[in-house]
Chains A and B, each alone.
Chain A
């Protein structure tokens, strides 16, 4: 089977077009964040009364909708329909709309890449990266439909742009058929799950980083000391909320990641005759798994909750990123293919 060059070309152009749109979206998100008035950090840091704890717990039920209501209330949007838009809101809306456009362009790029070779478009690092970028954005946009997560936008769009940037420069590979080792329906299962996990890992890492900044800002504010992250933290939800969101993302992703590894093992058994051979990719997938397992355990271990657990989740994400790029670049193994 040969490659349909027209579709492959079209796919490349769509990916470039999406990058332009993502860049515009990044700027809008930045403007939105900068214009947002923000919350009073002393409130979060002050000892919580039972009543407000109760309110918070109730709000927890409504998830991050709370964040929306809180910001709305504080910025005065909820007060009346005729009020002008709060600062940062218009820019945030533009950013989301442009991000939709970018994601549709990217989705079409991924689709045409697949159609040009008539197979699942994740046979090499380039295809894997653009699909992951698409998955990250789509996940974020779906969440954004239901919750106000404009504050998170920039921290999602930047990894998406980085991933696409790496894809079109370092990792670019022409559309082509697969090497025989990848011709299996497990490619669709194993790699698709790995892509979803990659997207979740990325979002969880962004949330954990924001938690660390927000938590410190709240503490420093309570102590009356200055901190570079205070300005940013003001525009974010409370640190406990960020921590909870990060936890839920990882708790959702961890069984999936386990499944991705198991699916890979089943495939390996069928292709190479052993389900686990400590190939560098397998080893680092295992290290990543152990890292996130450590995170989940740390959260329920005295002395490891909070910041330490968040650091562990960031280390685990670093292991994932290394597994994704580093292993193909630095080590040779059975997962080397498609130019990188």
Chain B
């Protein structure tokens, strides 16, 4: 059994070992020095500061992880500065090596500090409370009472009193003292908090290794099957197996959007919902479901989230021979809060090839400054403003092309026109472009994160640990008895705590009054020399 002094281990503050200079000149000396420095509280503190400071550029500069389009725009606007920032990892702060270096060092430092302390704490919890100091009156909390019981009875009463209040108690009849300790859960909580943070990091890593996130745009009336080929973009973790994608599919039957009309927040979104016909797996019975912003569709370990919406005008294009060369609803990218949406139509099956660019406006307006634009996000007065281009779409060059951009290098503009639903426009060569109407589209994100349950469990446990470590007080009390006058026992009760700004006064008072009456003769000399 280890002998412990009155207040060792009572504080949760680790012993600050001054790493000092490396002992000796050997490699081992240096390694020991490096380890001690890394695991010291001071280093942990510096690493915490670094972590906070390193996060700042992640909020100042656009990040590839959240907004790749903005990063591209930044690089295009200011290529020189952009390149330098990119080299420094400023657009991928949270995936950059230097950010990882900081938090990995922090977690190593944490583990190096917490694991030895856990061992130490384990021993302390099994050890007996430290023996009563000789002179209890030297402790910060001290009471002196007189009891009519025998010293042994007083010791028993004290032990009973403390045990019933769940103190860890040790009694020494020969020496005539009782020692008790309580509040081990302060340090337990502290250690659990820090260890659970490491587990949480494992959960985060597991999620990004074995999970995925994909985005897809689905028009009303169209379907999506959960296979890799159908996603518009797909970001798998390194360990993700695409054959494990849940075999569901759904059709978007109807997308509803409601907006605030009038007032300061005119046009603000109020309600989005996507009604879908959902097929959990091939051959299963279709179910009707509604996906809303806070109501994702849950399929196995995957979730389907509603993340955006917009308009897809329907065009029917007939060539001069009267053959229909194009008939489809075209997804247009919203450009502003009122859904002024930019549209591109490519018709490769005509000679020369035909391309349309322009805007879909749910509530159309035109002015001199902004040109055609929308004044409200709902389709109150829809119109398209399109220009037509003839020539080579460049699709055969082999270079990858965006469906949202028309390469007009080898094309000439043959006309420009505004149309309301039902109207059509005859180009100079006899081609007829009909604007038949529009459907809505919704964009969905499908995501799987196999580490999130672990991360959540770890964070819940760590919060419990944190609460314990900040709220529980670690404290010790001692009782010493000595025979006073005939048939009375002099009882010394004392307590000690090292937790910041706390006290054991109440508990010492309670124990003292349970054991005896204040000694009249000693009442005046509270502080013996």
Q: Which A residues contact B (CB, under 8 angstroms)?
A: 3, 51, 53-54, 57-58, 60-61, 173-174, 176-181, 183-184, 186, 244, 247-248, 251-252, 254-255, 258-259, 262, 265-267, 269-280, 283-284, 286-287, 290-291, 293-294, 297-304, 319, 327, 331, 338-339
Contacts and interface: CB of A to CB of B under 8 A. Distances in A.
Contacts of B307: 272-273
Given A273-B303, A319-B52, 19 more contacts: A51-B527, A173-B264, A176-B264, A177-B270, A178-B270, A179-B270, A180-B270, A252-B470, A271-B294, A271-B305, A277-B65, A278-B59, A279-B66, A284-B59, A290-B52, A301-B16, A301-B41, A302-B42, A331-B60
B63 A273 contact: no
A243 to B, nearest CB: 9
A279 B503 CA distance: 43
5 contacts: A57-B505, A244-B501, A255-B466, A272-B305, A304-B42
A294 B49 contact: yes
Contact of A278 (B14, B65, B268, B471): B65
A273 B501 contact: no
B125 interface: no
Given A60-B503, A61-B506, A270-B296, A177 B260 contact: yes
Interface of A is mostly: helix
A327 B292 CA distance: 27
Contact of B55 (A57, A180, A275, A286): A286
Interface stretch (B216-224, B323-331, B408-416, B451-459): B451-459
A270 B307 CA distance: 11
Interface in B435-490: 445, 447, 449, 452, 455-456, 459-460, 462-463, 466-467, 470-471
Contacts of B14: 300
A236 to B, nearest CB: 17
A181 B293 contact: yes
B48 A294 contact: yes
A258 B466 contact: yes
A180 B295 CA distance: 10
Interface of B: 12-14, 16, 41-42, 44-45, 48-49, 51-52, 55-56, 58-60, 63, 65-66, 93-94, 140-141, 204, 213, 260, 263-265, 268-272, 292-294, 296, 303, 305, 307, 445, 447, 449, 452, 455-456, 459-460, 462-463, 466-467, 470-471, 500-503, 505-506, 527
B337 to A, nearest CB: 11
B265 A61 contact: no
B293 A297 contact: no
A286 B48 CA distance: 11
A53 B139 CA distance: 12
Nearest to A278: B94
A270 B294 contact: yes
A56 B265 CA distance: 57
A297 B500 CA distance: 13
A275 B452 contact: yes
B264 A339 contact: yes
Given A179-B269, A180-B272, A284-B59, A297 B44 contact: yes
Nearest to B138: A50
A181 B260 CA distance: 14
A180 B447 contact: no
Contacts of B93: 278
B255 to A, nearest CB: 12
Shortest 10 CB-CB distances between A and B: which pairs? Answer: A300-B13, A180-B293, A280-B59, A273-B447, A61-B503, A244-B501, A184-B294, A273-B305, A61-B505, A290-B52
B441 to A, nearest CB: 17
Of B44, B66, B462, most A-chain CB atoms within 10 Å: B66
A283 B58 contact: yes
B292 A303 contact: no
B263 A176 contact: yes
Given A61-B506, A274-B449, A244 B500 contact: yes
B16 A278 contact: no
